[in-house]
Structure 1
């Protein structure tokens, strides 16, 4: 039956962390799905294996939202972020916590009778193997840097794991909730080599069957893991995740009732269309979002190595116009790497540069002796962040060139080629998006500014790396870290190794027969497929 392309709007509120405990199961992992056909979820994310990235689903390599969305369903972590938000809670662990006052010794006790999906028991040695493996391989994706504060991992008996940290790190419980800390088996994963292809073996709520076209994952079928022991209560025994090449084809499949749920990324025009219409057969869920978009710079590249060039760009880019023309109410201008909704945010770029000002930018360039117009090429990915990215970069080009200070071109490249080229330093200026590893300001700072950063950026601020970042991590109460975090953001605004543009909201479209749509995506844009099912939830 064809679904009418109309929708009613439901805005999902953030549920208090205390209420999240209502979804905790008795640990049996049996779930309460209503049976029947699989719930089919659509996404425009792409997962591809290539010579540059042959192991996209290895937890020691994977470091983007698409691959993490698969691993979060299949590979269990010691800690997990509760569906209503808040601090992480034990998952594969029965309990975890710091045992010292300096946040340098973190101890976890595993659940009893924890098993991989094949039935093999999980012990503390498997946890140690998994973390040591990620740190040993040091994949060029940079994901291992999340665990950079781990000095050593010790086991005591079959259930106790002790993490000795090389510096105080109050964010460590969050890091243990990320897929790079996922528990894998030495029988399936080599200690010093990545696992190529699309196979995933873990102890999460689901197992995964991959369906391929060449070197691309076209769909993934998630089946209930009969040996799962953890806190999550499955609402469906089978879920299919389909990968669409663009937002238009995903929307068409939804209108034809070929899929039950649309996730990221719907086009802005589609969201506006759905939000204006009203019927009873589908819901539009609007969720708080921590996604950001930014321009990044290879600070060693001749065209932008002079800080004044980057500062001049920060001085003239009009974020309000950009958001208004492309995203409307679906995004907000962003004046820092840290989103406005997180503790520690400060509008460093607005404080330093104020409103767009061509003459102020001209003065910056003249004082630095930079000849104008500065020739630039802005690179963007054509298929990773949604169909509106091209329009966004066209507006950025127009804004820069309108000043007469820049001669800007834009070039779009598919993600499978864009990301390797960016990592090799082939782009002087390029656009990226970021979904946090965990909902803390640290996750918007360390991945870009610390050693072994995810962008392979040559930019180094010794004050950030050696003083401010460690200082911010020493505070268990994150309010106490605000002064350090503010200082970091001010340095970024001065040096402009990255230029924040906007912060976005999240949207899910779901048929009215789908339950749990308000929780299928968390604030970090990670899928929680165990939350959705068919029919009325008891």
Structure 2
């Protein structure tokens, strides 16, 4: 294929590639050579996060890229998106009209990679374990609507939910619902270290230097029974210190594909390069970036301060200056391609308007300039993050209404400290767990939310989120989602900034790249093969 960039558009927020690989491919690797994927994601075992790959703790896209190939879930989202399909389950479905009772029948003959049978008791154990551990940085918020889990014999599981939730099948398709062995994982504490053992399509061996992972080697699991079809026998994920080192490894053939994160400059260079050995693939993305607020911090406690920031920040200049064509301004928590999206922030703050910001602060009796510290992670979202925050700092300081200080922190410290409420204003990214408006509001605004945010709105929690989840036809949830977005634009507990595209770059003999990353930036390693691209 001579085109340097393969553009794979999305429809209704789901990846629906229209350009597949040309020519032929084999189902394995040449001479047993693994396919090697580079990433700038870093994985460390720290006192604050001693178990980076325990599904009760892991809740970021990098860690989930380790868990998805090695652990099974009852359901999974198919490679092009859409409604979940059975994975470890043979069939699943609601058994009542209120969407509060969900029953799954397991595939016959399921086994963990060590040969131990996997049954309904393991599923029950795994879900109850996450709920019991209730890790403060983990994905337990996806499971807290579960009232009880019932194992009926060896091959049936029934989930009884506290309230109606039409999105529950999607939650069972996330690594938060991974099935683990009750003889290997403790019922009440995390599994420290880097070991991962399950029943997924691959077994994984983690190599580390000191407390940091250098490589994860995935080998085809001969005991696997599920709906994933493997195009290879072995894949490696290698971690690189930065995007420059990762690109060098791709060009020398040390790796076969580079994934997140690729800088805007690299994307531009790769798209115009004449090197026919490298191809750049563009995928529609559902990643969002935003500023989060500790609404109890004195510097931003008054919502007029947060509203003033929303009035000053120019998203168009921010994205064009830092990300070019790889991102677009976002004016709501729910991105543009997801049902229920409404441009609530644009409606309330239609342009960068320092005068409006000054009026808001004056009317609230706020003395200016307001001193604020913006904190960002230095090693999690890519090299462009620092520049992004420098632009934000300049926009706010140029208004003369703010005196902004920047603070960069490593992710291993940033993540637990953010949950502990140590940052007044912080920058975060969100890759969806599933393509529904619920996954862009509940993780930030519901009880036990992902951010551990002190912000509470009773109408959102008690009425609007439950109302949206009762709608089996998801389009009917739109009025509730729109009201939530209007409330967020008024109170500004979160300030959305931009929505990004996704890119990978691969050597020309690697096939399956059009399916290698799904809507949520999850690597689908089993899709990769060697052949003629």
2:488 is matched with 492
Shift of 1:263: 0.3
Mapped to 2, the partners of 1:89 and 1:229 lie a distance apart of: 14
Partner of 1:336: 332
Does the alignment pair 1:291 with 2:287? yes
Q: Could you give the per-residue CA deviations for residues 207-228 of structure 1, whole angstroms, max 9, x where no partner exists? A: 1101101111111000011100
Aligned partners of 1:123, 1:326: CA distance in 2, in Å? 50
How big is each residue's C-alpha offset from its partner over 1:355-414, in whole Å with a ceiling of 9 and x where there is no partner? 110111111001100000000110000110000001000000000011110011111111
Which whole-Å CA distance do the structure 1 matches of 2:470 and 2:274 have between them? 50
Contact 1:114 1:229 in 2 (8 A): yes
- Structure 2 residue corresponding to 1:126, chosen from 122, 129, 138: 122
Change (3 A) 1:218 1:228: same
Contact 1:447–1:453 (8 Å) recurs in 2: yes
Q: Aligned residue pairs: how many?
A: 523
SS of the equivalent of 1:271 reads: helix
The aligned residue for residue 66 of structure 2 is: 70
Which of 457, 461, 465 pairs up with 1:461? Answer: 457
Paired position in structure 2 for 1:33: 28
Q: Does 1:303 align with 2:299?
A: yes
Q: Which residue of 1 aligns with 2:23?
A: none
Which residue of structure 1 aligns with residue 51 of structure 2? Answer: 55
Counterpart mapping for 1:408-423 below 5 A:
408-423=404-419
- Kindly report the root-mean-square deviation, in angstroms, between the aligned alpha carbons of the 2 structures: 1.7
Q: 2:524 aligns with which of 521, 524, 528?
A: 528
Q: Match for residue 95 of structure 1?
A: 91
Looking at structure 1, the residues matched to 108 and 200 of structure 2 have their Cα atoms a distance apart, in angstroms, of 15
TM-score (norm 1): 0.95
1:48 and 1:439 map into 2 onto residues whose CA distance is 29
Q: Which residue of 1 aligns with 2:258?
A: 262
SS at match of 2:453: coil
Q: Pick closer, same or farther for the CA change 1:92–1:106 going to 2, 3 Å.
A: same
Take 2:103 and 2:192, find their aligned partners in 1: how far apart are those partners?
32
Q: 1:370 aligns with which of 366, 369, 373?
A: 366
* 1:191 alignment partner, SS class: coil
User: Are the structure 2 counterparts of residues 529 and 478 from structure 1 closer, same or farther at C-alpha, using a change threshold of 3 Å?
Assistant: same
| Alignment partner, residue 104 of structure 1 | 100
Instruction: Measure how far apart 1:15 and its partner are.
Output: 8.6
Find 2:345's aligned residue among 339, 349, 352.
349
Which of 473, 489, 508 is the equivalent residue of 1:512? 508
Aligned-pair CA distance for 1:277: 2.4
- Aligned mates of 1:61, 1:147 — CA distance in 2: 13
1:33-55 CA-partner distances (Å, limit 9, x unpaired): 24520000000011111000001
Q: Which residue of 1 aligns with 2:224?
A: 228
Q: How far, CA to CA, are the matches of 2:246 and 2:361 in structure 1? A: 45
Whether 2:382 is the aligned partner of 1:386: answer: yes
Instruction: Determine the structure 1 residue equivalent to 2:187.
Output: 191
Q: Is the CA contact 1:7–1:277 (under 8 Å) kept in the aligned structure 2?
A: no
Q: Quote the residue 2:244 is aligned against.
A: 248
> The residue matched to 1:377 in structure 2 has which SS?
strand
Q: Residue 273 of structure 1 aligns to a residue in which SS?
A: helix
Cα contact 1:142–1:453 (8 A) shared by 2:
no
CA contact (8 A) 1:290 1:436 kept: yes
In structure 2, distance between residues paired with 1:7 and 1:399: 38
Residues 307 and 434 (structure 1 numbering): CA distance in 2 closer, same or farther, change over 3 Å? same
TM-score, normalization by structure 2: 0.96
CA deviations on 1:303-344 (whole Å, 9 max, x unpaired) are 000000000000010000000001111001000011111001
Contact 1:126 1:183 survives alignment (8 Å)? yes
Q: Deviations over 1:211-246 (max 9, x none)?
A: 101111111000011100011111110101001111
In structure 2, C-alpha distance between the alignment counterparts of 1:65 and 1:448, rounded to whole Å: 17
Distance 2:140 2:82 in 1: 24
| Structure 1 residue 120 displacement after superposition | 1.0
